[in-house]
Chain A
Amino acid sequence: MGKPMQVARHWRHFREKYALVGGKCENGHLMFPKREVCPVCGSRNVEEYQFSGRGKVVSWTIVRNPPSGLEYYRPYPLALVQLEEGPVVLAQLTDVDPEEIDFGMEVEMVTRKVREFDEDGIILYSYKFRPVLKPQKE
């Protein structure tokens, strides 16, 4: 991921990484992240779409040998989470005992620190997912 002073590189993704804003094309296809071209129908008319942040675990692993620079939380659970609206995102799970993780476990988005660089570097935050705390409203 290179050296820290690439503020713009991370700043440009704040809406996705902090608020889980993705995309919806004119034909209703949802995507995360948002793209110029809808991967389903090829439409170039894609608007921003706010995801709820709720989803289910599709698959997961425990990363024991992370890429350099990401050692701080080692070992950490990483999962494919299917959002309730449909699209799947890759993210870390947090506030969870690895033994509790299971297929279909209901999770919700939280904002957490992902990575720190040197003491003069930036700190990266992003979405992670934790087991749902509150019962879902009908």
Chain B
Amino acid sequence: MRKAVIIGAGMVPVGEHWKLSLRDIAVEALLNAMDDAGIDRVDSLYVGNMASGSFVEQENLGALIADWAGLGHIPAVKVEAACASGGAAVQEGAKAVLSGLEDVVAVVGVEKMTDAWPSDATRYLAYAADADWELFHGASFVALNALIMRLYMKEYGYTEEDLALFAVNAHANGAKNPYAMFKRSITVETVMKSPYVADPLKLFDASPVCDGSAAVIITTPEKAKELGVPKEKWVEIAGMGRSIDTINLANREDFLTLKAAKVAAERAYKMAGVEAKDIDFFEVHDAFTVMAALSLEALGVAEKGKGAMLAREGQIAIDGDYPIQTMGGLKSRGHPVGATGVYQTVEAVLQLRGEAPEGIQVPDAEVGLTQNIGGTGSNITVNVFRRV
């Protein structure tokens, strides 16, 4: 079977890019990735994006970005899986390479959110929920996650302070990442003093609305050699898994299990031939602090109900047994929704190449994992990357 390796990675800093449009940041990230690989053409482009039609009245992103990046007459499409669009786009790109149909594939994740009024952004994000049975009743994404957070704390006896530790860890790492939106440390007190958005979920339990774009170039080892890309740059996409769950949270069998993440992880682990204990770092989808806890449980890092315990015990820090959010995660690096899965991928590549910024490099990292959630756990991708 063919193998898929990432030979180029690029991104733009996450933030509020008032001067730049969606196409500006997407083209910049894409060209950065192509420059990193040292190539000037690709066979195809996959765009991870959640809601450009709502945020900036622009669809057909395949044509827009390939055209403006000067890629010529290539196939280019948008891949949409809500906030997991980026992770899904990486998988579609890798599948194109693995299938043998395409040799050099570009994947770019992009979201331009700050052109929208905040409460409109809240509504556009809620389009990933069930329109008739959730948004209709006034559910925002924060609210749906707050329902889970309250239940999680009650069921396992955690406090809001316990969950705040995930945000504290994310910021501690993000403070050292030049591409992060919030490059500063916070304390549990910072989280506790922030206002409720949807009780018991506070502003600092949640990731920010922002703009961002990240890109990777995927090919086979043979082609990478032919293109003259030095082997130190290669990172293998060793395992991929993806699954859905009920779109409507209310229809879920167990509100405190991310079944889709569990299924996706099993598939990714099997394909990569690894177990959770073999993985050196985890970029999990901490759009809300409780999601980091549930993700660690679904990925098999913690037993059910013990995810937040890892934060309490300090095991999620860079020097812990299970480092997570090594570059700040969604909370501190930022969560430009459809781009997030590709940011996670770029961050995994930097970690595995040993190119992570000082202070947040996981020592001797060989295997890394990214987990990207769309909807209220309704569409989840898990990817496993390995140093070549």
Contacts and interface: CB of A to CB of B under 8 A. Distances in A.
B290 to A, nearest CB: 12
Nearest to A124: B136
Interface string A67-93: 111110100101110000001111110
Nearest to A103: B154
Residue among A59, A61, A71 facing the most chain B CB atoms (10 A cut-off)? A61
Contact of B138 (A59, A60, A92): A92
Chain B: interface residue count, which band?
35 or more
A59 B198 contact: no
B117 interface: yes
Contact of A90 (B146, B148, B196, B248): B248
Chain A: interface residue count, which band?
35 or more
B250 interface: yes
A55 B133 CA distance: 17
A79 B144 CA distance: 9
B140 A67 contact: yes
A123 interface: no
Residue among A13, A39, A66, A115 facing the most chain B CB atoms (10 A cut-off)? A66
A80 B256 CA distance: 13
B200 to A, nearest CB: 8
Contacts of A64: 195-199
Contact of B147 (A61, A65, A67, A126): A61
Contact of A78 (B139, B154, B197): B139
A63 B249 CA distance: 16
B150 A61 contact: yes
Contacts of B249: 80, 90
Contact of B196 (A62, A78, A79, A87): A62
A63 B198 CA distance: 5
B312 interface: no
B122 A88 contact: no
B294 interface: no
A58 interface: yes
B147 A68 contact: no
A62 B199 CA distance: 5
Nearest to B123: A67
B8 to A, nearest CB: 38
Contact of B119 (A31, A68, A87, A103): A68
A90 B137 contact: yes
B117 A68 contact: yes
Interface of A: 1, 13, 31, 33, 39, 58-71, 73, 76, 78-80, 87-92, 103, 114-115, 124, 126
CB-CB nearest 3 A-B residue pairs: A67-B123, A61-B146, A68-B119
